[in-house]
Amino acid sequence: MAISPRRRASQLLAALVALLVASSDVALTQRVLPSFIWRYPFSADGRAPHGFDAACLAERTFYAQQHRVADLRAPSSPWAPALDQLLSWHSYPGSWDGRHWGSGDHEDRDVLIVEYRDVPGAVRKWVAEQHRLRHAVDDAPVERDGRKQESRWWMFGVFSKPKDGVEPRFLDPKIPEAAAAAGEEYHEPPDEDKVLLFAPASLYEILPLWVAEGSDCEADLLDLSRYEPHAIENAVIAWPVEHTTPSGKDKDLEISFQIRAMVTVESAENKAIQELWQKIQRQAIRENRRLEREQRLAARKKLQEPLEEQLKEVEEEHEKDEL
């Protein structure tokens, strides 16, 4: 039986409406959080952006487990206490690229677990410093170079692994320090019994630290004051250029992510263009000043001509009187 044109049009309209609704849902669940300031800084092919050269390039691949909040909160998961503690510190910073992929109940948010033995020393040091700074700010404001220091301790947490029925616990760097100050014994778990827990978006805050160690520009990458969201002269830019997602029917949670960092300097071509542009600007300024001087002289001459004529007439009259 043939479908009438009117019915066919109704079906197409319904399909279009369904597509628009689905697209709207995707947009809502894939939005970039307003707190995320970072943007992809390289060229389309992963090289230095236009107008810049790479004075140094560092890359490294890391491995982690990527979990959904709902999975870590499942009754069979031992990670629920650690997860709840991490998420209670601050609002969720986002998943990869600062996106929030979750639904309204936030159970689809992503969390990464990295073996602590795989975490570079610079990252360990930064995380510990942020938690120490948190305590210092709680006790009294901390200032450096005349500016108040803001701790970002809530981005990462070092936790012990669940073991022999014991729940994971947050390993605050202040605890061993306080124990040592009090002359008490404290047994820190070995690195193989610890993990780093964080949301993917937290990575972007300190990406250069992950690849600094052993690179040709280690000192540059360790200096986060030079880390910028986009390329400028003698700055550091970075991005996780590749990352996999959990795959497999057996819910394999293993992923990898590759971080690339670069020290950018203005290219010779761009410098030449800038110098040419500055030369053109200087010439334009000089020409504009010349024209202004000529205009002023012309205006002055125009005002003086009638006065000179009158003065000449007066002199002529004076000469006649003398004769």
- 287-302: pLDDT as tens digits: 888 888 888 888 877 7
For residue 164, the model assigns a pLDDT of 85
pLDDT tier at 303, thresholds 50, 70, 90: confident
pLDDT tier at 29, thresholds 50, 70, 90: low
* pLDDT of residue 105 exceeding 90: no
Across all residues in the chain, what is the average pLDDT?
82
* Spatial separation of the C-alpha atoms in residues 164 and 173, rounded to whole Å: 24
Q: Which two tokens stand for residue 57?
A: 């390039």
How much of the chain, in percent, has pLDDT values that exceed 90? 46
* Spatial separation of the C-alpha atoms in residues 108 and 26, rounded to whole Å: 13
pLDDT tier at 19, thresholds 50, 70, 90: very low
How many residues are given for the chain?
323
> Distance between the two ends of the chain, CA-based, in angstroms?
127
Domain chopping of the chain, boundaries: 39-266, 267-323
pLDDT tier at 30, thresholds 50, 70, 90: low
Q: Which two tokens stand for residue 282?
A: 């200087």
* Spatial separation of the C-alpha atoms in residues 116 and 110, rounded to whole Å: 19
* Spatial separation of the C-alpha atoms in residues 211 and 263, rounded to whole Å: 12
pTM (two decimals): 0.72
For residue 146, the model assigns a pLDDT of 45
Are 264 and 49 in contact, with CB atoms under 8 Å apart? yes
Find the radius of gyration of the CA atoms of the chain: 34
Interval 37-93: pLDDT, tens? 999 999 999 999 999 999 999 999 999 999 989 889 888 889 999 999 999 999 899
pLDDT tier at 249, thresholds 50, 70, 90: low
